[in-house]
């Protein structure tokens, strides 16, 4: 079956530091890959996504590249802010071109950014 593995957390950084959160996956077929973010007390929001190999998703200064050869989708940001403190989830979708898709999530990585 499908699975997603994220780097262990929590991650604590100072403002303006470089961020990497590792994500690797196991899947049959050609899944789409996602990063969702959950701010304290809220539901999940889509941060970025990539639907095929070598695609780069980007949003709000965050980037991730779909690497089929290493089955990875690592999240990066060049300079984090205090407002980036949240839980980040890597996920994959098995829609495969059908009308709906189930998401498989990683365990989440807590990011705390200090001033």
Partner 1 sequence: NAGVTQTPKFQVLKTGQSMTLQCAQDMNHNSMYWYRQDPGMGLRLIYYSASEGTTDKGEVPNGYNVSRLNKREFSLRLESAAPSQTSVYFCASSHPYQETQYFGPGTRLLVL
Give me the long-range contacts of 55-60 (CB less than 8 A, separation at least 24): 57/33
Residues within the interface to partner 1 (CB under 8 A): 4, 32, 34, 36, 41-46, 49, 51, 89, 93, 95, 97-103, 105-108
Q: Which is nearer to partner 1, 41 or 115 (CB)?
A: 41
Q: Which is nearer to partner 1, 1 or 115 (CB)?
A: 1
Could you tell me which residues come within 8 angstroms of residue 96 by beta carbon, excluding any fewer than 6 positions away?
A: 29, 30, 31
Query: C-beta of 90: minimal distance to partner 1 in Å?
Result: 9
């Amino acid at each position: 079956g499908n699975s997603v593995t994220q780097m262990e957390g929590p991650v604590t950084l100072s403002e303006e530091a470089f961020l990497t959160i590792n994500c690797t996956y196991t899947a049959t077929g050609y899944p789409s890959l996602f990063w969702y973010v959950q701010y304290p007390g809220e539901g999940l929001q889509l941060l970025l996504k990539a639907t095929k190999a070598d695609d780069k998703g980007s949003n709000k200064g965050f980037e991730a590249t779909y690497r089929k050869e290493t089955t990875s989708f690592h999240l990066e940001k060049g300079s984090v802010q205090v407002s980036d403190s949240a839980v980040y989830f890597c996920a994959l979708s098995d829609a495969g071109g059908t009308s709906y898709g189930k998401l498989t999530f990683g365990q989440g990585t807590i990011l705390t950014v200090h001033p």
